[in-house]
Structure 1
Amino acid sequence: MTRHAIDLAGVDGRTPRVCFIGTACGDAPAVIRDFYDMAQEAGFHGSHLQLFPMPNIEDVRGHLLEQDVIWVWGGSVAGLLAMWELHGVDAALREAWEAGVVLTGVSAGSLCWHVGGTTDSFGPDLRPFTNGLGLLPWSNGVHYDSEEQRRPLFHKLVGDGVLPSGYATDDGVGVLYRGTEVAGAFTEVDGKGAYFVERSADGGVVETRLDVVRLR
């Protein structure tokens, strides 16, 4: 999926620049090391932005605008959003997105771009959150096939109008947006799916499975 994001960035004639953001996992050193190991193996220029215990980059905005791809790791989406607002990363990411930088991520790193979704940031029982960055006017459902609370709660929140209609993905699947509209869905794992969930006229929900392209 990361290679596909780099392909979408359209880098030609130089080494792709990919910045890793691990705020949601507290900037865990082991995760950051793993990223650099992967970057070296994959042949792209890696960097990272950390906020704990203090920012490691003086000009966060400038650094993010220089990237081809920004890749956000999973963990606490509530903690991620709070720290980003505190340090102005949210505004810098919006500017990078508007400038054409490819934004990607997993779990919290997917949820954050949307209006909201379901999260375990507050404990093992899932709860809604509705203060995402809102770059995309949709809700987002992650871990759709691997955590049993995810699908029914996502349906309920969309049906009740707590969340807008949105896109959900099984683990290993990503949805591609161009601007704010979906332009495709992709999977690293055979048999996995992506779904559009919308509120019906009677207050229920309709879930539509999307066509998914297998990445090789």
Structure 2
Amino acid sequence: MKQNKYDDPGFFRNYSQMPRSTGGLNAAGEWPAFRALFPDLRDKNVLDLGCGFGWHSRYASEQQARSVLGVDLSANMITRARELTDDAAIEYRQLAIEDIDFAAGQFDVVISSLALHYVESFDSICRKIHHCLTPRGNFVFSVEHPIFTALAAQDWYYGPQGERLHWPVDNYQDEGLRQARFLDNDVIKYHRTIETYMNALIDAGFRIVKVSEPEPTEEAVVQYPEMKDEARRPIFLLIAAVKE
């Protein structure tokens, strides 16, 4: 199922008002940990899957990447990315992640930020990415953490005074579709265990080199106080892998 909520005017309007939409990478609590997983991007051909507003694509170009291709299913996302970009080294293309079909060895680095939990067949995407990477090429991605996606409600368990008591985890081993609520809309996500993420990479021919379950930095919490509870449970899973 290819879901394109971002071309819904109301949803896109709400998304555009989120801190990470207005503040960019510095407003993303996981950014320092995600950036630390990147290889040297100088002179590399980079593919950004689910590029959104193009924040990561522009960062790659700032790091002297030879070329950057950002792809996203949403016309709104691609339009906004082009509006925010003035860089001949970056190309944006409207394309579903599921439909990528690039030449063997076309890219040195593939990155994807918080997009692959919207894709039903992760193992298929891993094989396609492995194919289009050069030997020893890098695949670095982030997804919503399986502890976060296990229950579709994706919310805290609250006490009688509305206090956040704990984060409930249930049906963890029951992988598959979750209809979550995000920005006042029903959104389809796909829950997978950590085991499934890792084994799909290994089976596709990757070697996992780093795994991160970051918590927000102190600076991020000061700037965005709503992040203060994010250290109580992981919200993101970050993985860096190399093509064998």
Q: Same fold (TM over 0.5)?
A: no
Specify the TM-score bucket, using the shorter chain as the normaliser. 0.3 to 0.5
The alignment's TM-score, normalised by the length of structure 1, stands at 0.41
Structure with higher RCO (Cα < 8 A, 6+ apart) = 2
**More helix by percentage:** 2
